[in-house]
Amino acid sequence: MVDPQDLLVRNLIEALSQLERYTVLGLGSSISALVLSRPVRYGGTDMSVTVPGTFVAIDRELARTLLLAFCVLMGAMGSYAATSVNAIGAGLGSPALLAAACSYPTVGSSPYVGVRFIAALLPLVLAGLAVIRGSTTEAAGSWRSKLLWFSVLVPSYGATALALQASPCPTLWSGT
């Protein structure tokens, strides 16, 4: 028979791993979207690009849109993983067991509150810059599309940031 505390510790470590994975993927997709929002300065034509996960070269604007959508998805999944970390941590009961499980090195278990905050908000900032910069094919007055992107980016990464700040893992300032 499996010990419930052992199962909770393993689930906490898995949730921390998933949170780390979603954070890194969100950061990578937001950086890529930002790079694709720059105008092309070579050759005079808009080059096609290949996005990981696609098998054919696609238009830069479509690639940027796919990367931003992926970034939103990673923020939402990160929020779910961070909320799971909080729920599992609350269920552990033993502060010593929680501290031992939180010694697994990830963004979500970092003893530095700033690391958690930056990891949650950096993809939002970079994706936001990609949205603001737009593309070379966007009309100057496309504020509706920018507002739509921000209406999905901000809640997904804002929820992740709030959940990470409420993490049950000890910080340097918590005294545990």
What is the distance of C-alpha 79 from the center of its chain? 8
Angle at 106 between CA 165 and CA 1, to 5 degrees: 100
Mean pLDDT within 145-168: 92
Tens of pLDDT, residues 82-137: 999 999 998 888 888 888 888 889 998 888 888 999 999 999 999 999 999 875 55
Q: Is 170 part of any domain? A: no
Q: Is 51 part of any domain? A: yes
Q: Is 106 part of any domain? A: yes
Q: Is 36 part of any domain? A: yes
Q: Is 175 part of any domain? A: no
Judge whether residue 13 has pLDDT over 90: yes
Q: Is 68 part of any domain? A: yes
Tens of pLDDT, residues 69-81: 999 999 999 999 9
Whole-angstrom Cα distance, residue 30 to residue 24?
10
Number of domains making up the chain: 1
Whole-angstrom Cα distance, residue 126 to residue 5?
39
Q: Is 158 part of any domain? A: yes
Q: How far apart are the two ends of the chain, measured CA to CA in Å? A: 31
Q: Is 115 part of any domain? A: yes
User: The domain containing residue 8 runs over which residues?
Assistant: 4-165
Model pTM? Answer: 0.86
Least reliable range by pLDDT among 46-55, 68-77, 94-103, 148-157: 46-55
Q: Which of 61, 69, 75 is nearest to 124 (CA)?
A: 75
The DSSP symbol for 2 reads -
Q: Are strands 48-49 and 58-59 parallel, antiparallel or unpaired?
A: antiparallel
Cβ 8 vs Cβ 91: under 8 Å: yes
